[in-house]
Structure 1
Amino acid sequence: MMQKIAVITGSHKGLGYAIARKLAQKDDIQVVLTSRKEQDGLAAQKQLLNENIQVDYHSLDVTSDLSVQQFTAWLQQTYGRADILVNNAGVNPTMQPEESSLLTVQIEMMLSTFTTNVLAVARITQALLPLMQAQNYGRIVNVSTEMASLSSMGSDYYPLAPSYRLSKIGLNGLTAILAKELQGTNILVNAYSPGWMQTDMGGANAPFTADEGAETAVYLATLPEKGAQGKFFAEMRKFGGAIALPW
């Protein structure tokens, strides 16, 4: 049985690491860990190998054209395919004081956040999508947030966080557009909110673990044919199953 090749961006720690770990424990999936800094990724790979969980590793900075080109060339030469892409790498400057209001947020920070959370996703997706199209199989999972839901934004209890919210709204839009373009193929594109987790980004006071936040990503990364397309999912623990949210 040929293994599916799964690429998880920013997977040396936190949610990305949890997603990689869960997928790598499936017999039919070969996970490729990625990180900007090689030492971080190699340390994560070693940690999984110590658990007898086999993963591959290659450095990847999704904000760099050259890094994405080099990664794609290596992936094609090594495996000749890409079956799963989890766009997990991202930034969240919400805790900075300027992020408490749209009137004080720094335009440079908004641009930087958008560059990482949206444009970098477009960059790596454009690079790997042809490998999926060549075999008419792919599962693309974009890590978003309920804070980007326009339908509930006027009444939710989350921080204003304009840089983060607007970037994830952009990511949701990217998800919907790509899903529309790929309609009728066996390449399924969805977004999901992992919720508030105990990661570097979420902090130690978060109510849930990264492993719990990874559950929906694994579900979406392993969808069967004719599975969900262009949907925005909540974390599975919230409703006891896979539930699509309103955009």
Structure 2
Amino acid sequence: MAEKIALVTGANKGLGFAVVKGLCEKFKGIVYLTSRDEKRGLQAVQVLKKIGLNPQFHVLDVTNEDSAKKFADFLKNKHGGIDVLVNNAGVMDLGNVYPTYEGAKHNIDVNYRGLVTVEKFLYPLLRDGAKVVNVSSACGLLSNLKNEKWLRILKNPDLTEEELNDFVEEYLASVKNGTFRKENFADEGKHAEHRVSKIAATALTMVQQRNYASRNISINAIHPGHIKTDMAKGGGDLEPEEAAKGILFLILEASPNLKGTFVWHDGKLIDWYDNESNDYYKYCP
């Protein structure tokens, strides 16, 4: 039987690093720490090796198709498949509440389109019974969105990836051409780019699960909590190791029948389609 393989994107620090650490301690198989920056990734691996853990490293830039293809080819040739995939790579610029088009596009390129790239190249390697966790946030709830047309599209149980792409492109076009409306979002449209990227990432989770319904693959999204990371600029209340617990639970303990859900950091299942709830958007990211 082939040895089980787990990999975590964006894992040289913060939450991703904590997830790799937890997997190295408990997962029975090989764990890959990936990072777009080779130097930082190798340094992170060395930190874990110094405490007796043994992750492997590979470069992966989720915004670069060539990088994703090279990693996929490597995994296919060396291991034949993947058993665990944690899509953690993400960005947020807290310094720009209403970003430029370039800033908004960069956020979406990493947080949403990066998932699409990973799906294109790595999902074909998922073995039967594999588990995928897409790291979302409080911004990924539909309650962040107030535009009725967008809500109608996103709440359709037959939502397609093409419609998701159209939603993202329509938002970006509004920023580019100056027609962006704060009223389309909660909280006066602050960090709308992050809300759009995380809503799209969460919705993509549901679409992906539906597309893989014929195989025993579990794909779930999670809000890991407000974490003390560079992204939070000191404003978080959870250490990365604490926030990693929810992700590790989904991988190591949750029933394989838990599929296509949005999980809160405390393990609570959230009705993602309930856009009337305004309990969570204030805690964005």
Distance 1:37 1:107 in 2: 25
TM-score, normalization: structure 2? 0.76
* In 1: Cα distance, 2:55 partner to 2:138 partner: 31
Equivalent residues in 2 for 1:232-243 (5 A)?
A: 232-236=262-266, 242-243=267-268
Q: Which runs of 5+ in 2 are unaligned?
A: 147-184, 273-285
Q: Partner of 1:118 in structure 2?
A: 112
In terms of mean alpha carbon deviation, does 209-218 or 24-33 score higher?
A: 24-33
Please state whether the residue corresponding to 1:83 is helix, strand or coil: strand
The correspondence of residues 163-242 of structure 1 with structure 2, limited to 5 A, is: 163-223=193-253, 226-236=256-266, 242=267
What number of residue pairs does the alignment pair up?
234
Distance 2:187 2:84 in 1: 33
**1:94 Cα deviation (Å)?**
2.9
Q: 1:103-182 alignment to 2 at 5 Å?
A: 105-132=99-126, 135-151=127-143, 160-182=190-212
Structure 2 residue identity aligned to 1:181 = N
Distance 2:198 2:24 in 1: 27
- Tell me the SS of whatever aligns to 1:228: coil
TM-score by length of 1: 0.88
Q: Aligned-pair distance for 1:2?
A: 5.3
Could you tell me whether the CA contact under 8 Å between 2:222 and 2:264 is conserved in 1? yes
In 2, the alpha carbon distance for the partners of 1:62 and 1:94 equals 21
User: What is the CA RMSD across the aligned residues, in angstroms?
Assistant: 2.1
Identity rate of aligned residues, in percent?
31
When Rg is computed on C-alpha atoms for both structures, the one with the higher figure is 2
| AA at the equivalent of 2:25 | Q
What is the Cα deviation at residue 156 of structure 1?
7.5
State the shift of 1:160 in Å: 2.3
Q: Taking CA–CA contacts closer than 8 Å with sequence separation of 6 or more, which of the two structures ends up with the larger relative contact order? A: 2
Give the match's secondary structure for 2:120. helix
| 1:245 counterpart (238, 251, 270) | 270
Deviations 1:44-77 (A, max 9, x none): 1111000101110011111111111111111122
Secondary structure of 2:31's counterpart equals strand
Secondary structure of the structure 2 residue equivalent to 1:171: helix
Distance 1:37 1:153, change over 3 A: same
Cα distance change on mapping 1:106 and 1:56 into 2, 3 Å: same
Contact 1:93 1:163 in 2 (8 A): no
- What is aligned with 2:7? 7
Q: What CA distance in whole angstroms lies between the structure 2 residues aligned with 1:223 and 1:131?
A: 22
Structure 1 unmatched runs, 5+: 237-241
Taking the aligned partners of 2:117 and 2:189, their CA distance within structure 1 comes to: 29
Distance 1:185 1:44, change over 3 A: same
The answer on whether the counterparts of 1:3 and 1:27 sit within 8 Å (CA) in structure 2 is no
